[in-house]
Amino acid sequence: METKENRISIGIKEFNQILNGGFISERAYLVRGGPGTGKTTLGLHFLEEGLKNNENCLLITMTEPEKKLIKDAKKRGFDLKSLYNIDLSPKSNFFESGKDYNMFPSNQVEQKPIIEKIIKKIKAINPDRLFFDGVIQLKYLSADSFQFRKQILSLIQFTLNQETTILLSSEASKSNPDNDLQFLADGVINLKFYKNNRKIYISKFRGSSFKQGEHTLKLTNRGLKIFPKLRPSIHDKNSFHESLSAGVDEIDKLLHGGIERGTTSIISGPSGVGKTTLGIQFMKEASSRDEKSVVYTFEESKEILIQRSESINIPISKMLNKNNLSIKHINPLNYSPDEISMKIRDDIEKNDARIIMIDSMSGYKLAFQNSSYTENQMINYIHSLTEYLKNMGVTVILINEIKNITGNFKATDTNISYLADNIIFIRYLEMKGKLMKAIGVLKKRLSDFENFMRKFKITKKGIKVGAPLTGLRGILSGTPEFIKDYSKKDINKNV
């Protein structure tokens, strides 16, 4: 059952979204993960957010010296000037005096003053937020696991009685597990780092629902950035499926009016055949209606795309100047799928983009390979993205490159055909030793379409499309033949 208790921000907007509003105040939470996963940084965000709200905030550190931690935090832009702290980290005088060092040489000797010091400080400042970094080190104070659990439970209960929200960090291992802490905490945040990818996920959150699954995490010069996994079911904007013209009469005839708003279209074909140009043509028409479009290009630079479009009479510079078009070049090796989805979400929800084009799917797929996704996981992810866009009433154009220039026809080189409401293909034809292009429609979910292919040409004046190629057969093979029943004169009109 969803709680109605007070929520507090962690200091990272996207993390608050994952928790459906943030932490529930006056509860205890555990952030756990291996070395370098970002536990302490998450704690600093939590504390800084409290200080911004003029709350009393307390840092207890048992691993890293407080001065070093604060100094490093300042370099990264954290403002922790009014932070209270207790430094329980190892001191250099143990080594300098030649003593055998153990975190707590004798639990009978160290346990009482450490706990008393914590309690005294909490009573003195009555913190609104407390971050205990390296709490698992307290195990060395305890004779056994049962005693450790009692100590932690007592500490948590005492602190919660002071109306404090607690965040504990744990660097657990097989030899030193933190199952006790997970059991006692109201919420458990897990941080993972593997194969150059950082992930964050919630395994427990009492009193509230949360967004499940692994979400992308990045460590930056200003702390943590989180990119929540896209969940299309939470977005729903009704849209009228009106037809969107390509601005070329013959293409509109092929599509029986155009592509419908809020649908996903795949434009498929080999390299250099004109797939991107056709996609930009739909955006040119959208600009004439004063609608916004975005191109996400994973291969071609923005400058080259502008130059190519201008050379064939598509006024892309004017579209950019009117803010009706954005071109965003993305290096897929530097971004995770969640980051790319976040960029798309921002353009849809903040900038009201109505058409988006991903150019191309082969470039986009590199982001999944870098993030160690399987083929099925990649397809599921793309499915979620297109469903989200469809639910938001956005028209999607996916540019799909196939390897074969001619030969046996293939709609896509990946198993994504089922995602498309419309599949438009452009391919090369060999006619009398001359290389030509033809365009056709393979699939259209919301209406009928023309079953013939048409000659397709890109000129200095733009896209030119001919009459239906009715006098040929074997077009999909790439080497069509004349049909005897048609005169060469009729065929030549089309070809």
Answer yes or no: is 1 within a domain.
no
pLDDT single digits (tens) 63-88: 788 888 888 998 999 989 899 999 88
Residue 109 binned pLDDT confidence (cut-offs 50, 70, 90): very low
Burial 8-33 (b: 16+ CB within 10 A, else e): bbbbbebbbebbebbbbebbbbbbbb
pTM attached to this predicted model: 0.81
| Predicted confidence (pLDDT) at residue 35 exceeds the cutoff of 70 | yes
Q: 3-state DSSP: the chain helix, strand, coil percent, rounded to 5?
A: 35, 25, 40
Answer yes or no: is 175 within a domain.
yes
Q: Which of 173, 199, 229 is where one domain is finished? A: 229
Residue of 58, 3, 41, 45 lying closest to 25 (CA atoms): 3
Same-domain check for residues 221 and 267: no
Answer yes or no: is 283 within a domain.
yes
pLDDT single digits (tens) 323-340: 999 999 999 888 889 999
Question: Are 265 and 442 within 8 A, CB to CB?
Answer: no
Same-domain check for residues 212 and 247: no
Same-domain check for residues 218 and 247: no
pLDDT at 169: 93
Same-domain check for residues 212 and 252: no
Residue 26: give its domain's CATH number.
3.40.50.300
pLDDT single digits (tens) 128-178: 999 999 887 777 666 566 777 777 888 888 999 999 999 999 987 777 788
Q: Of 178-182, 203-207, 373-377, give the range with the top mean pLDDT.
A: 203-207
d(CA 5, CA 250): 60
Residue whose structure tokens are 């307290």: 138
Same-domain check for residues 149 and 286: no
- The two most distant CA atoms of the chain are separated, in Å, by 105
pLDDT at 237: 62
d(CA 284, CA 33): 49
Q: Give me the mean pLDDT over the 472-476 stretch.
A: 67
Same-domain check for residues 413 and 443: yes
Total domains in the fold of the chain: 2
> What average pLDDT is seen over the chain?
85
Same-domain check for residues 348 and 474: yes
Same-domain check for residues 260 and 189: no
pLDDT at 94: 47
User: Which of helix, strand or coil describes residue 123?
Assistant: helix
| Predicted confidence (pLDDT) at residue 102 exceeds the cutoff of 50 | no
Q: Which of 200, 229, 258 is where one domain is finished? A: 229
Residue of 179, 265, 235, 218 lying closest to 38 (CA atoms): 218
Same-domain check for residues 400 and 286: yes
Percent of the chain at pLDDT above 90?
A: 55
Same-domain check for residues 247 and 366: yes
Q: Which of 196, 229, 262 is where one domain is finished? A: 229
Answer yes or no: is 2 within a domain.
no
| Predicted confidence (pLDDT) at residue 296 exceeds the cutoff of 80 | yes
Same-domain check for residues 448 and 343: yes
Same-domain check for residues 424 and 275: yes
| Predicted confidence (pLDDT) at residue 446 exceeds the cutoff of 80 | yes
Residue of 13, 483, 461, 17 lying closest to 229 (CA atoms): 17
Residues of the domain holding 35: 7-229
